[in-house]
Each structure stands twice: as C-alpha cells, then as structure tokens.
Amino acid sequence: MPSHRRRFLSQTFQAISASAFSAKWLSASESQAGSKKSSGLIVRSRRPLDLETPVDQLDSEFTPNPWFFVRSHFGEPAVNTQGWSLTLDGLFQSVNKFKVAEIMSRFPRHERPAVLMCAGNGRGLMKPIVPGLPWEHGAVGQAMWSGVRLKDLIDAMGLKPDARHLIFETADLTASKMTPSFTRSLPLDRLLQDDVLLADRMNGEPLPLLHGGPLRLIVPTWTGNHWVKWVKRITASVEESPSDFQRKSYKMPTLVLPPAVAPTPDQLKSVTILNVKSQLTWPTANAQISARDSLAIRGSAWTGPGLVTRVEVRTSVNSDWQPARIITQNPVQGAWVRWEFTISEVKPGEHFIEVRATDSNAQTQPADPFWNRSGYLYNAIERIPFQVIG
C-alpha cells in the first residue's frame, strides 16, 4: 500500500476514534441529568467539545476530574499512552525524543495546586454581547497537577544562545490537512520559573485524555490558552510561534474602546496573566433557602502573579463591604483561596450577595468589566440573587 494512503487511513481512523470517544463521553455526561442542568456539565459546543462546570461543582478546594471544564480547539487525538513521545528540536543543543515514562523517571517529580481558567471565562456575561463561546462562571477549575519541572528538562537538554521562546505543538486533530495544528509559544523567562510543569497526573490520577493526557503544559497564573494539551513537540526558537493562534488570536485592547470601534494592531496585546477574580460557590444563583438566624456563604478567589489578600462581601442585609475570612492555609501563588462569610438575620424574601477580591498588587475587582470584542478576562463584581423562604 502506498505510504500516502497509509497516512490517510491512519489519520481517518484516529479522527473516527476520537469522535467516537467524544460522543460516548458526552452521552454519558448528558445522561446524568441533561446538558443544561446544574447536575451535569454544561455543553457549550459539541464539535469541538467544550463543556462548562456548574458552579455547585466548584465548591471545594479541588475540582473533581469528571466535573472539570473542557476547552478544545479541535478534536482530541486517539492516544496510545505507552507509545506517546515528546520531541525536542530547534535551538536545543541537540534533537531528542523521549517517551513520557522516560521523562517522568529521569527528573524529580513535583506537584502543585493551580487554577486553570479559560481566557474567555465570563464572556457570556459581557454587555453588549460578544461572539465566541458563551462561558459564564464555570470555564475555570483547580487541580493538583503533578509532573516534572520544565526547567529541569531544559537545563538537561541545553539551549543554544539565541533561544528566546519555546513553541509547543499539540496533537489535536484538525478538520483537514489544510488546517494548521494548534501551536503556542511562551517566552523562556516565564518557562524557566519553578512553577511550570509538564504534567502527567491530575488530582492524583493519570491525566485524562480530555484534559491533555498523557502530557500537558501547566503554567500557573497564566490563562488556559498557554496550558497546551497533548504536547508532542517543543521547538526552541528565536521568535515566537508564527501560527495564527499566536500572532492573531488571544489578543485584547490596551485601552477601553466603544463597541463600534475596532482596535488597531498597535492597540492590542496578548492575553497572558490572570486578573483578580472571586466567585460565590454557595449559595448558587437563584437558590431557595429556608429562613434562619444566620447563613454561612462561601466561595473562591484567585489572581495572576501575587496572592489574594482580601475578600469582601456586600449583601441585601449588610449594605457596606465587610471582610470575609480566607480559610485557605498557606496560600500558593497560582492557586485559589477559599473564603467564607456569615450573614446574620436572614429573613424571608429576595436577597443578593456581591463579592470582590483584592490581591497583593493592590488590584481590586471593578464594578464593570473591561469590555472587549473577544470577551477576555471578565472579572466584574456580580450580584448573585437568592430567595429565603419561611
């Protein structure tokens, strides 16, 4: 059989296998309680597969793997975990190819908690409406990620003096041979920090396929588009990736512009670090709660570089901002903190809760979002309604 035909049949088989896996997984997810109900993942797109976590499943330090949101650019690959390899080329001192098991056994293992958030989390809340996946509150989650430090691998392999960026190529299946694969590059000065991992485990389990298994890049404090899934090649380069995903996508304006005014190229910057944000995880929006003397509410808060230093709450009962108690012990940069607050004298009727966070860089959540056409980095204070019944 000609080699080009073998390649075609192989790619076709992989695409069919991956599609079948997505369909089977999605069907199982929807059968739990329906794709639009709080007890099931919220389907934002079926092809590619994009699933949002309901807020009630974010009410813990770590988001369970089956409930973790899924963001896909193309289709997930058909994976042979034992045969998966990573190629290092470009401006590394030499070209190398390793199996995942080789990498994990050669270097010390590290683990760290970190928030993964899609840059478009909250896009569906933007007013005026913007195009794109209408994520609301659940394109975010926290896991305990485990793997090797990328820095250790880079140091062992060595780089040529001109190297400034690493380009990560993923194995997701594109719609056709004419569609370029997803690549993303990051500057070396970020990748050489100790918190960046090549991970093969998530919350103590082998990294699931839908979350990038068997090998994913972990970049705490940066948006999820940098957390490349299914990493199969790392190329050391003088320049950043030439792909449209790098040069044209994930850009937002540096200044506030009216919706009718498109930013010029010199008014755009790449989306990189997370901004400060908080979330109420209990009670959830429009919850019905029985009347009581007091109500303990709780949630999470996170930011980019730095730490969340203060969380404040305002309610229909207490009109002034009051400090919540951060209950996370020994906070880690890149991970969220859990907080709680007690509302006194909760009487029957309609109520609301507002939450805002401040970080160690003195950044506080704004009353209004930084509106942009791509709907990136929504972090406005939200008013969450609930009802108390007698």
Residue 9 falls inside a structural domain:
no
Q: Indicate whether 245 and 324 sit together in one domain.
A: no
Residue 48: phi, psi to the nearest 5? -70, 165
> Within a domain: residue 52?
yes
Considering the domain architecture, whether residues 235 and 324 belong to the same structural domain is answered as: no
Residues 227, 102 within the same domain: yes
**CA of 279: how far to CAs of 261, 287, 313, 377, in Å?**
31, 15, 11, 14
Among residues 252, 74, 79, 271, the alpha carbon closest in space to that of 180 is found at 74
Residue type, 136: E
- Distance separating alpha carbons of residues 304 and 276, to the nearest angstrom: 7
Among 200, 233, 249, the domain boundary falls at 249
| Secondary structure element (H or E) that encloses residue 143, with its range | strand 140-149
Q: What are phi and psi of 335, to 5 degrees?
A: -110, 155
Low-confidence winner among 14-23, 268-277, 349-358 (lowest mean pLDDT): 14-23
Residues 228 and 284 in one domain: no
Which tops the pLDDT comparison, 124 or 244?
A: 124
- Residue 303 shares a structural domain with residue 362: yes
- Same domain membership, residue 99 and residue 138: yes
Distance CA 139, CA 68 (A): 8
8 Å CB contact between 216 and 140: no
Domain termination site, one of 232, 249, 266? 249
Residue 328 lies in a domain: yes
* Least confident residue range of 36-40, 241-245, 283-287, 322-326: 36-40
271, part of any domain? no
Q: Is residue 285 part of a domain?
A: yes
Determine the residue type at 222. Answer: W
Q: Is 257 contained in some domain? A: no
In terms of residue numbers, what domain contains 48?
A: 14-249
Element holding 270 (H helix, E strand):
strand 268-270
* pLDDT bracket for residue 26 (50, 70, 90): low
Q: Which two tokens stand for residue 297?
A: 């509410």
Number of domains in the chain: 2
283 plus 235 within the same structural domain: no
Decide if pLDDT at 180 tops 60. yes
If asked whether residues 183 and 282 sit together in one domain, one would say no
* CATH at residue 356: 2.60.40.650
C-beta separation of 354 from 381 below 8 A:
yes
Residue 224 sits in a domain of what CATH number? Answer: 3.90.420.10
Residue 123, strand partner residues: none
β-strands 140-149, 292-302: how paired? unpaired
Residues 126 and 238 in one domain: yes
Does 8 reside within a domain?
no
Average pLDDT over residues 134-145: 98
Among 207, 232, 249, give the residue marking a domain's end: 249
Asked which of 20-24, 69-73, 101-105, 217-221 is least confident by mean pLDDT, the reply is 20-24
In 3D, which of 304, 280, 390, 298 has the Cα closest to residue 346? 390
129-138, 237-246, 312-321, 365-374: the lowest-pLDDT one: 312-321
Q: What angle do CA 120, 122, 124 make, to 5 degrees?
A: 95
Q: Alpha carbon of 229 to those of 71, 215, 296, 357: distances in Å?
A: 10, 7, 38, 30
The answer to whether residues 203 and 284 belong to one domain is no
Q: How far is CA 28 from CA 35, 107, 303, in A?
A: 10, 37, 34
- 86 and 27 within one domain: yes
Q: How many C-beta neighbours within 10 Å does residue 101 have?
A: 13
170 in any annotated domain: yes
How far is residue 93's CA from residue 216's CA, in Å, rounded to a whole number? Answer: 23
Q: How remote is the C-alpha of 143 from its chain's centroid?
A: 10
Do residues 239 and 330 both lie within one domain? Answer: no
pTM value is 0.90
